[in-house]
Amino acid sequence: MAVGQCDFPNMLNVKGITLGTACAGIKQTIKDDILVIQMTEDSTCAAVFTQNAFCAAPVHIAKAHLAHQPRWLLINSGNANAGTGEQGMQNARYSCAELAKVTGGHAQQILPFSTGVIGQPLPVAKLTAALPLAIKNLQIDHWELAARAIMTTDTFPKGVSKTISIDGQTITINGISKGAGMIQPNMATMLGFIATDAKIEQILLQQCLSVAVEQSFNRITVDGDTSTNDACVVMASGCSSAPEITADSEHYAIFAAGLMDVCKQLAEAIVRDGEGATKLIRIVVEEALNDEEAVRVGKTIAHSPLVKTAFFASDPNWGRILAAVGRSGIEDMVLENVQLFLNEVCIVRSGGRALDYTEEAGQQVMNEEEITVTVKLGRGNAIQEVLTCDLSYDYVKINAEYRT
């Protein structure tokens, strides 16, 4: 059950981008599990990928193909094609080649992505048999169908749509993502696909995406596990009437902020849908020496099973949070300067429990569905936020039964 209201939004059309889905029956035969996204010929494309050393075969292929001005994305759910050795590489290449036959393009213009069970051969015969139908179904408004086709253990499809204005002209930015478990992006199991009709060079688009991912997908964690298949892609069709975005113009900051907003909303949706999650936890670390230190403290708290289970139980066991701060690896921490808050309730001050703190006040906060933990380190001016969720019985059940 997701945390909060998670209805799929009304998605605007992005000129120059079409989406088509089909059911290949890779793991099940009830819902679509193949997605093809097509870009116009002059589109630019940027991507970031998992840093997991055992990255999946499609990640290797997509990295190589990114330099060849991609025209299509090919995504399947139900099978990760990871841990599959040379056969997995051959299957990923073959899938691209077969899609190229259907579209009339080149295999190197296709970026493949997979998500699902690790270590099982990709059923390429099923996948490629469904490609003609996916191409036939290409439409400009199939965003919700696309978001559903890439789901695995997700409980709801995730999408964001917004517009920005540049010189009186509208630019649209749409995004979909999937992910609920194996979430501790490190780039950035999550996949994110973002499309815009902005006109922007590839190098600049890559720069925008890398910055946005660092402040969004790389600031979330569900369980501390970095997937073999994580990837985030942004496609720019250039079909808007707005002027081209260049690095030395004021338009760049406007576009970068819009892309950042879409990424942050998609990232938050993933945490809201964390496997078995009942609560959304915002961990804000303030007064750190630098951003790296702030993120390290935030993620140490977010990764703690003891902290996460306390939140699930609505137990104001603040000592677990304090212990996580203490083991986060900060050198020369002055304990008397550290302050700890649950929402607006101060728990720790001057090296110990705040004199005005009461268990009743802590309990009232812990009963809420969305909670903010604020840590003030008293060391500097850096501020960073990490999003996570609680750890429930259902998380264990979902992952214990994942392959059954």
Q: Tell me which residues are annotated as active site.
A: 189
Whether residue 44 contacts residue 202, with contact meaning beta carbons closer than 8 Å, is answered with: yes
Could you say which DSSP state residue 351 is in? T
Which helix or strand (DSSP H or E) is residue 194 part of?
Answer: strand 191-196
- CA distances, 236 to each of 196, 199, 200 (Å): 5, 6, 7
C-alpha distances (whole Å) from 267 to each of 185, 203, 221 are 10, 23, 9
Report the alpha-carbon distance of residue 167 to residue 171 in Å, rounded.
10
Could you give the angle at the alpha carbon of 214 between the alpha carbons of 162 and 178, nearest 5°?
Answer: 60
Pairwise CA distance, residues 73 & 202, whole Å:
16
Q: What is the DSSP letter of 107?
A: G
Amino acid at 242: A
Say if CB 277 and CB 3 are below 8 A apart: yes
Please state, in angstroms and rounded to a whole number, the distance separating the CA atoms of residues 390 and 82: 28
The structure tokens listed for 134 are 């996916």
**C-beta of residue 237 within 8 angstroms of C-beta of residue 39:** yes
State which H helix or E strand residue 309 sits in. helix 305-312
Torsion 191-27-66-229 (CA) sign: positive
- The helix (H) or strand (E) run that includes residue 250 is helix 250-272
Q: Where are the beta strands (DSSP E) in 230-269?
A: 231-236
Residue length of the chain: 404
